[in-house]
């Protein structure tokens, strides 16, 4: 993706360092940060400088590279994997990437591990870009179908599942970018996505690509759907169970309920590494991250050019801040995977991704 005419990814290798876009500063400030140590990589994931399931996975892979520079022993590898796995619990891409790196590095002698780790992390990043291109291709016909019967295609999305959440290209936004590039008249309703407001990142990146979009408060989606102003919903996913339940940013479930009531198709875009073949019933099997209450008690923004955080209530009030929810497979019209669009069922997923079935 280009920012100000310069091509960027959300994470990349820069010589023997790792570079990221610091997403805590967006949408006001586009700033690149460098990671030199395992600790910095883990902090970047924990503090959401990098966020979004595929990007968390790729950054963790690079984090293991940095760890191999510090201590490439077996004990060093295990400790680094543990540190990275503890950063965020819900996005399964983190576990997937760490396990893949461990499987590649464990059999090697310590002095061969750093070079092999760079190659494997680079491969994970490149593959992510390819998966997203495939999701774009498979999702495009869904948008074309709508465009065949009406002038403007209106998509509603929740959270950020664009290039910032992946290495490049995005998941839920990938078909939207492709449709726009191919000349379809496409407009996106962007849910604000409280409390971390990832919708602002979505609006920022869509605007950067010239895709018409409108930011709405999280509660507006049902109203828009009732009035026929949404043709389909496309969201990303942080983890999908083997039977097709979709775990995604908090609030996704309510959109799916409204979509079902209004007869609006509801799709999730899902790259292979986001499927957890060990999870069946997502409500039972997927850990939901509980985040700090300050995210709900305070809002951050910009005032007179300065970043500010302001309280919006009594600092002592009780707050609960679950970061993700589960949309049961029965509410999902289909999963746009990198191998094709499938029904959100065990059979649908295993038909295309069968080699992974436990």
Binding status of residue 235 toward ligand MRU by CB under 6 A: yes
Binding status of residue 51 toward ligand MRU by CB under 6 A: yes
Binding status of residue 92 toward ligand MRU by CB under 6 A: no
Binding status of residue 248 toward ligand MRU by CB under 6 A: yes
Closest CB to ligand MRU among residues 122, 295:
295
How many binding residues for ligand MRU (CB under 6 A)?
17
- Exactly one of 38, 53, 80, 342 binds ligand MRU (CB under 6 A); which one? 53
Binding status of residue 198 toward ligand MRU by CB under 6 A: yes
- CA torsion through residues 338, 341, 344, 350, sign: negative
The nearest distance, CB 301 to ligand MRU, in angstroms, is: 18
- Exactly one of 323, 335, 344, 349 binds ligand MRU (CB under 6 A); which one? 323
- Exactly one of 12, 52, 59, 230 binds ligand MRU (CB under 6 A); which one? 52
The nearest distance, CB 351 to ligand MRU, in angstroms, is: 23
Q: Single out the segment in contact with ligand MRU by CB under 6 A; choices: 1-9, 120-128, 153-161, 254-262.
A: 153-161
Binding status of residue 236 toward ligand MRU by CB under 6 A: yes
Closest CB to ligand MRU among residues 18, 58:
58
Q: Which of 63, 121, 59 is nearest to 91 (CA)?
A: 59
Binding status of residue 160 toward ligand MRU by CB under 6 A: yes
The nearest distance, CB 34 to ligand MRU, in angstroms, is: 21
Q: Single out the segment in contact with ligand MRU by CB under 6 A; choices: 70-78, 126-134, 230-238, 338-346.
A: 230-238
Closest CB to ligand MRU among residues 198, 333:
198
- Exactly one of 61, 101, 161, 246 binds ligand MRU (CB under 6 A); which one? 161
The nearest distance, CB 197 to ligand MRU, in angstroms, is: 10
Residue 168 among the catalytic residues: no
Burial of 73 per CB tally in 10 Å (0-12, 13-18, 19+): exposed
Residue 206 near residue 164 (C-beta atoms within 8 A): no
Closest CB to ligand MRU among residues 54, 139:
54
The nearest distance, CB 134 to ligand MRU, in angstroms, is: 15
Binding status of residue 256 toward ligand MRU by CB under 6 A: no
Out of 128, 238, 325, 338, pick the active-site residue. 238
Residue 323 near residue 288 (C-beta atoms within 8 A): yes
Residue span 19-38 as binding mask against ligand MRU, x where in contact by CB under 6 A, dash where not: --------------------
Minimal CB distance residue for ligand MRU: 236
Kindly list the distances between the CA atom of residue 192 and the CA atoms of 15, 27, 45, 215, 307, in Å, as whole numbers in the listed order. Answer: 36, 13, 21, 6, 19
Residues involved in catalysis: 238
Binding site for ligand MRU (CB under 6 A): 51-54, 159-161, 165, 171, 198, 235-238, 248-249, 323
């Amino acid at each position: 993706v280009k920012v100000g005419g310069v091509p960027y990814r959300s994470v990349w290798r820069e010589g023997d360092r790792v570079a990221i876009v610091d997403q805590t500063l967006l949408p006001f400030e586009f700033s690149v940060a460098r990671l030199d140590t395992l600790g910095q990589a883990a902090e970047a994931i924990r503090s959401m400088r990098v966020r979004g399931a595929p990007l968390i996975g790729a950054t963790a892979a690079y984090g293991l590279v940095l760890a191999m520079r510090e201590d490439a022993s077996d004990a060093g590898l295990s400790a680094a994997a543990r540190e990275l796995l503890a950063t965020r619990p819900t996005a399964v891409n983190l576990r997937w990437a760490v396990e893949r790196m461990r499987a590649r590095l464990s059999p090697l002698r310590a002095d061969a591990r750093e070079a092999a780790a760079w190659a494997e992390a680079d491969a994970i990043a490149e593959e992510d870009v390819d998966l997203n291109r495939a999701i774009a291709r498979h999702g495009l016909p869904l948008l074309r179908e709508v465009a065949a019967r009406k002038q403007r295609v209106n998509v509603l999305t929740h959270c950020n599942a664009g290039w910032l959440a992946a290495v490049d290209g995005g998941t839920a936004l990938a078909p939207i970018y492709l449709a726009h590039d191919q000349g379809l008249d496409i407009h996106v309703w962007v849910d604000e996505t409280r409390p971390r407001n990832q919708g602002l990142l979505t609006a920022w990146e869509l605007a950067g690509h010239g895709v018409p979009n409108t930011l709405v408060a999280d509660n507006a989606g049902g109203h828009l759907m009732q009035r026929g102003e949404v043709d389909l919903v496309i969201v990303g996913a942080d983890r999908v169970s083997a039977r097709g339940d979709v775990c995604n940013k908090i609030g996704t479930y309510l959109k799916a309920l409204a979509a079902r009531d209004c007869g609006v198709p509801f799709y999730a875009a899902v790259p292979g590494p986001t499927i957890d073949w060990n999870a069946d019933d997502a409500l039972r099997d997927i850990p939901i991250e509980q985040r700090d209450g300050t995210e709900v008690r305070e809002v951050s923004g910009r005032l007179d050019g300065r970043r500010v955080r302001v309280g919006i209530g009594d600092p002592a009030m009780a707050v609960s801040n679950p970061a993700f929810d589960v949309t049961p497979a029965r509410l999902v019209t289909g999963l746009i995977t990198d191998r094709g669009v499938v029904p959100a069922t065990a059979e649908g997923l295993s038909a295309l991704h069968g080699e992974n079935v436990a």
